[in-house]
């Protein structure tokens, strides 16, 4: 099977290198006064050191995607289908699909379900450590359908024969809606924030006349979600779905968007798959908030702020989800472990945990590191750090760390201009004519010291380190050379 590039950098060695021990040697950019050059090797080493925990490799593996040519070749029963697609056909065949989709919109088909599965080899994929892949696959599908029944379900009582003539259980009524109720193609809805001069629009620019209302099994909404999903589906190209969001309703993307969400951690929330297959281990802070294994935690991941916590114990949405899950789990004989909870009313919603800065929780977004480094120009770190909130740069997207360091989407106000190069130029240690030494970014200068920079002589007015001549008041221009 041909696979596309991983959606996050591969961690080649799961080392325990301290990020603070890494060498960062910014050098003045000769072609950009006030700017700096960084070695790509140093930048890559910084990213790897910060993502050395084994879970980052697990996320990388989970978010691998097959080439769309492979996806388009999938068909029910085909001998050439990928391994994970064949597993789905074995544990949840077309008859079972039809049993749960008798009320579904025609855009949702078993073929498109298999294609969506085939895009993500880790969904219903193999395990090499003895875990039962078939059982995990079945549980994953049933979990997904419980949420589909809430997000896009008919919600028609079984005894309402006029609207439900087949007397289907509510957990059999998933995937009724392919577009958010009240919206249709051609309506430019859900465009809040479009056109603003901010990092979200620089990364995921809205297309004129397009609407980013809910579409598909997970009801994907808003331009920043369409853009991120498009990057995952189309080799980093956000514009495919930003320009044509209707594809999320009218193609296999209507189910792939839900599987993408199922596999993607939203730091500090884990990916739903890793709650189900127990790859994830809850931190002590999560355990203290009663967040552990079970269907209830998947509710917290999806909509914890609205549906979890004691104040939401009797609320319609979580009550429905739990009812659908229990009906499906009972019908499909899904075993429930003794440490699994179906509910989340006893859990603290993730949004209320304030886990930012916790040392036992992993994060998946990069932000500029504003810590002061006395040995670096201007005290800037020239590095990025992992944070527990959404930024312009994801640790799950290849190349985003370098973009963060170079402030590619201009999200770090006041950040120095940085360019990453394969090889740093050798430092110019030869003094120019007249014996004035070349300025060095890491050297301390005292009042009266003179340096040469860009063929000009400057004199320090007072103690300085890292302030570039010509771009700081600390330096007095003396003459041109």
The structure tokens 């030494």 sit at: 437
The structure tokens 């300025």 sit at: 439
Catalytic residues: 151
Q: How many CA atoms lie within 13 A of 139 on its CB side?
A: 20
Dist. CA 437–CA 256, nearest whole Å: 60
Please name the residues in contact with 318: beta carbons below 8 A apart, sequence gap of 6 or more.
299, 307, 308, 312, 343, 344, 345
Describe the crossing of helices 295-307 and 316-331 by its angle, rounded to 10 degrees: 170
Backbone torsions φ then ψ of 220, nearest 5 degrees: -55, 130
Backbone torsions φ then ψ of 47, nearest 5 degrees: -65, -45
What counts of helices (H) and strands (E) characterise the chain? 17, 11
Dist. CA 40–CA 220, nearest whole Å: 36
Please name the residues in contact with 235: beta carbons below 8 A apart, sequence gap of 6 or more.
4, 5
Describe the strand order of the beta sheet including 36-39 as a list of residue ranges.
27-28, 36-39, 418-421
Question: What SS3 class is residue 310?
Answer: helix
Dist. CA 126–CA 154, nearest whole Å: 34
DSSP string, 125-172: ---SSS--HHHHHHHHHHHHHHHHHHHS-----TT-TTT-TT---GGG
Please name the residues in contact with 346: beta carbons below 8 A apart, sequence gap of 6 or more.
290, 296, 310
The structure tokens 């021990």 sit at: 21
Question: What SS3 class is residue 357?
Answer: coil
Tell how strand 27-28 and strand 475-480 pair up.
unpaired
The structure tokens 């609407």 sit at: 211
Q: Which residues pair with 266 in a beta bridge?
A: 269
Is there a contact between 468 and 33 (Cβ–Cβ < 8 Å)?
yes
3-state helix, strand, coil in the chain (%, to 5): 35, 10, 55
Please name the residues in contact with 270: beta carbons below 8 A apart, sequence gap of 6 or more.
280, 297, 301
């Amino acid at each position: 099977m041909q696979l596309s590039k991983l959606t996050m950098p591969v961690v080649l060695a799961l080392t325990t290198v301290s990020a603070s021990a890494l060498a960062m040697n910014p050098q003045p950019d000769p072609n950009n006064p006030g700017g700096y050059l960084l070695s790509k090797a140093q930048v890559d080493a910084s990213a790897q050191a910060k993502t050395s925990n084994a879970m980052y490799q697990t996320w990388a593996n989970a978010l691998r995607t097959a080439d769309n040519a492979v996806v388009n070749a999938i068909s029910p029963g085909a001998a050439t289908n990928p391994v994970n697609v064949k597993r789905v056909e074995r544990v949840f065949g077309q008859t079972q699909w039809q049993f749960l989709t008798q009320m579904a919109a025609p855009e949702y088909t078993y073929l498109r379900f298999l294609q969506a599965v085939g895009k993500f080899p880790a969904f219903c994929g193999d395990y090499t450590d003895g875990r039962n892949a078939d059982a995990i696959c079945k549980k994953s599908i049933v979990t997904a359908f419980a949420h589909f029944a809430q997000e896009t379900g008919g919600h028609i009582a079984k005894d309402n024969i006029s609207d439900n003539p087949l007397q289907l259980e509510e957990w059999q009524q998933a995937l009724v809606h392919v577009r958010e109720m009240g919206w249709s193609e051609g309506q430019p809805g859900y465009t809040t924030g479009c056109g603003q001069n901010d990092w979200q629009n620089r990364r995921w620019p809205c297309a004129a006349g397009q609407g980013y209302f809910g579409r598909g099994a997970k009801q994907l909404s808003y331009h920043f979600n369409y853009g991120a999903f498009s990057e995952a589906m189309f080799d980093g190209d956000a514009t495919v779905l930003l320009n044509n969001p209707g594809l999320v309703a009218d193609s296999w993307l209507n189910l792939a968007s839900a599987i993408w969400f199922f596999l993607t951690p939203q730091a500090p929330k884990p990916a739903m798959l890793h709650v189900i297959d127990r790859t994830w281990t809850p931190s002590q802070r999560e355990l203290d908030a009663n967040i552990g294994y079970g269907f209830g935690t998947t509710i917290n991941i999806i909509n914890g702020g609205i549906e979890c916590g004691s104040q939401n114990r009797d609320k319609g949405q979580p009550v429905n989800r739990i009812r659908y899950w229990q009906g499906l789990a009972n019908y499909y004989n899904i075993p429930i472990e003794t440490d699994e909870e179906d509910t989340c009313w006893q859990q603290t919603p993730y949004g209320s945990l304030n886990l930012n800065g916790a040392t036992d929780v992993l994060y998946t977004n990069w932000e500029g590191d504003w810590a002061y480094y006395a040995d670096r120009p201007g005290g800037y770190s020239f590095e990025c750090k992992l944070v527990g909130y959404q930024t312009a740069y994801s640790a799950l997207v290849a190349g985003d760390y370098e973009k963060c360091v170079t402030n590619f989407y201009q999200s770090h106000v006041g950040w120095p201009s940085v360019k990453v190069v394969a090889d740093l130029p050798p430092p110019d240690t030869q003094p120019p004519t007249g014996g004035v030494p070349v300025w060095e970014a890491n050297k301390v200068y005292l009042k009266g010291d003179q340096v040469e920079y860009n063929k000009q002589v400057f004199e320090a007015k007072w103690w300085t380190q890292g302030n570039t001549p010509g771009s700081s008041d600390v330096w007095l221009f003396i003459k041109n050379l």
